[in-house]
Amino acid sequence: MQQKNQHDYSVVNHSVRKKDAMALVTGQPVFMDDVVQNHCLTVKLLHSPHAHARIRSIDTSRALQVAGIECVLTYKDVPQKRFTLAGQTYPEPSPYDRLILDKELRFVGDVVAIVAGETKKAVDQAMKRIKVDYEILDPVLDFRTAKDNPVIVHPEENWISLCPVGADNKRNLCASGMEAEGDVDSILDSCDYVVERTYHTKACQQAMMETFRTYTKLDPYGRLIVTSSTQIPFHVRRILANALDIKKSRIRVCKPRIGGGFGAKQTAVSEIYPAIVTMKTGKAAKIIFSRYESQIASSPRHEMEVKVKIGADRTGIIQAIDVYSLSNTGAFGEHGPTTVGLSGHKSIPLYGKAKAFRFAYDVVYTNQMSAGAYRGYGATQGFFAVESAVNELADNMHMDPFVLRRINMVQEGQIMPAYYGEKNTSCALDRCLDRVKEMIGWDEKYPSKDMGNGKVRGVGLAIAMQGSGISNVDVGSATVKLNDDGFYTLSIGASDMGTGCDTILSQIAAEELGCSLDDVTVFGVDTDASPYDSGSYASSTTYITGQAVVKACRELKKRIAEYSKKYPGLSLKEIGNQSMAGNDISLEVTSMHTSPVSPPPFMAGAAEVEVDKETGQVELIDYAAVVDCGTTVNPNLARVQVEGGLVQGIGMALYENIQYTDKGKLRNNSFMQYKIPTRQDIGDIHVEFESSYENSGPYGAKSIGEIVINTPGPAIADAVYHATGLRFRELPITPEMIAMGLDEEE
């Protein structure tokens, strides 16, 4: 396949090793728990066993008697100003509904007390001795009944919503709204084919391998130094200042290497606990969430129920799309108002010929774990719904779902009314779809094939898009400086969580500066020293921070040229050395970038499944994906991003289940009960790229971080439908659902 982008770069678009690769593969001590001092207080949390309760009394006296216990904090010991833990640009759209410790407990797992002591054993012992008298209250456990439910999750007077997101705590609304263009209802009425369905996705967990953890200490100047596994160092600084009610200037946040995030660490899940212990005791403190805690008291995907009504004319052109999303933000509103938007804003614009659309939504509070940011950020849930509805529409019309998409999908150059009216400036979706069809062998395999041995195969596909940063909001910065001997230091505020952005940004710098990758060293994030960056989320790092790198390098080249003019004939090395004496031309530049647009990456995904008709087991035979992320700055890293995201999407589609007791306790509270895919649970995965060229992005790049999880849900659901005739509108699709569904039909 001919690449549209023919540029021949020296470093960009090359599959170089990550700068930290060899350190990671030889097990060097680079993660938080490897780099901080061993001697510090161990901090653990007492979690509420009830979904909704008020603390009548809490007696910590016996706990304090345990030798080695430094402090036991309760709701009586914390500031009373509410804040949000959401990692978002200020003013945060997420409501300020949190206290470090609250008298009211709002989900099973909510934090009741903070215990800090010299050893784990002392802390465990003390935890057992805390006596709590809970007044058990009625919980709201079904998000479908949450709106206007007499039980109010956040009745408190000091609950605040900073932005106009349609929030109303008295109605259990964290956000609500509606956008529309054109007359959706009458257009749908006039359609020849209409599909109206409801789809349901659950609160899946990011399940990164390194759980939440933070270390805090006071430096000799009385400042709070925070070392945390976080995607949002700068936001953490603000969040802690709010939570502790201290000045931001007193806080410094450092980020070591992170063992994965996927959005989980875009909420300040762990930081406030050791921070308040350090502030109260003056001692260094560390908290490491167990896997259990990371499953029950973290920041999973928002459970959503999405109603889709979609209509097409006789020839199959989609005329109108009507989407209503009900999103469950759980006990607290982090990322509630913002994730829901993507469920419509990313899914609807794919169908560029629609004359009308409506997107309405409610985000409700419930007494379940507070949801947060997880790769895809609402788009994933929206795609499961809309792409499934499109597949059902195709089925209704007896049209090949490939063809239905081919004749409807958005084209390069089109304006996208449902996507903030942005223009589609770079789009190879057509090539992606055509290529994925070839890769999966669609023509031979659609819709299904009976294998004759009790098994049947089916294929299904889906398309998707995402964004590249949050337009007019996300900010990325880079500082580049020339050092002695002519090497460069690149200092960034973006958080590499394993994605390799340190390397990717260095590649961009090296390309722009015309040097080798080895001549660029990267300085990781420290809020005192690094230039400001919103953080690593919203697929912003390559597109936004990358462009900041380009800008900084271009400016630096100008300065070097200026210096050269003054001192002609010097090599770069000589300039580096000489410029350190008697020089007033700074060879260090900081640039900042933000974008008024968020050009979408696009992709197409296709699944081939084999279903055992008797047991209902689904074997994923093949998954093909073709991605347009603009230029791939590092093709290897881009490919692994896709593969990783696909497997997470496959997990969401087939394996990762969220189940509660009737008292609201999460049952999938370990890797024993929450089954992320193992290497035996996936078949072959094939990834290719069809690159467009995005002029507003660094070297034509867009983004890739999130889009990659969006296609497996709907593609696999349709493949299962073609294989079995059973349509599933809730994930995960389990063997039991299939076996019993087939059994019933017989």
Which of 17, 69, 11 is closest to 42 using CA atoms? 69
Contacts of 155 (CB under 8 A, 6+ apart): 169, 170
β-strand partners of 416: 422
Minimum CB–partner distance for residue 272 and other proteins (Å):
19
Minimum CB–partner distance for residue 696 and other proteins (Å):
26
d(CA 393, CA 379): 20
3-class secondary structure, 565: helix
464/556 with CB nearer other proteins:
464
583/673 with CB nearer other proteins:
673
**What Rg value do the Cα atoms of the chain yield, rounded?**
26
567/671 with CB nearer other proteins:
671
Minimum CB–partner distance for residue 403 and other proteins (Å):
30
Which of 383, 472, 374 is closest to 87 using CA atoms? 374
25/585 with CB nearer other proteins:
25
Minimum CB–partner distance for residue 14 and other proteins (Å):
11
- Whether a cis peptide bond, with omega within 30° of 0, leads into 256 is no
82/613 with CB nearer other proteins:
613
329/632 with CB nearer other proteins:
632
Number of C-beta neighbours around residue 151 at 10 A? 17
Minimum CB–partner distance for residue 625 and other proteins (Å):
11
25/415 with CB nearer other proteins:
25
Minimum CB–partner distance for residue 642 and other proteins (Å):
8
CB 215 within 8 Å of CB 244 = no
- In single-letter form, the type of residue at position 283 comes to K
Burial bucket for residue 404 (CB in 10 Å: 0-12, 13-18, 19+): buried
Burial bucket for residue 170 (CB in 10 Å: 0-12, 13-18, 19+): exposed
CA 323, chain centre distance (Å): 22
Minimum CB–partner distance for residue 593 and other proteins (Å):
25
d(CA 44, CA 290): 10
48/425 with CB nearer other proteins:
48
Minimum CB–partner distance for residue 606 and other proteins (Å):
16
Question: Three-state SS string across 505-553, please?
Answer: HHHHHHHHHCCCHHHEEEECCECCCCCCCCCCCCCCHHHHHHHHHHHHH
Minimum CB–partner distance for residue 181 and other proteins (Å):
38
Q: Which residue carries 């009741």 as its tokens? A: 112
375/729 with CB nearer other proteins:
375
Q: What angle do CA 44, 496, 244 make, to 5 degrees?
A: 40
Contacts of 228 (CB under 8 A, 6+ apart): 32, 213, 214, 215, 236, 253, 254, 255, 270, 271
Q: What are the Cα distances from residue 159, in Å, to 99, 112, 308, 373, 491?
A: 10, 19, 33, 21, 38
Length of the chain equals: 746
109/344 with CB nearer other proteins:
109
290/489 with CB nearer other proteins:
290
Minimum CB–partner distance for residue 175 and other proteins (Å):
29
Minimum CB–partner distance for residue 29 and other proteins (Å):
4
412/612 with CB nearer other proteins:
612
Q: What are the Cα distances from residue 435, in Å, to 40, 402, 438?
A: 55, 11, 5
β-strand partners of 602: 465, 628
Minimum CB–partner distance for residue 171 and other proteins (Å):
33
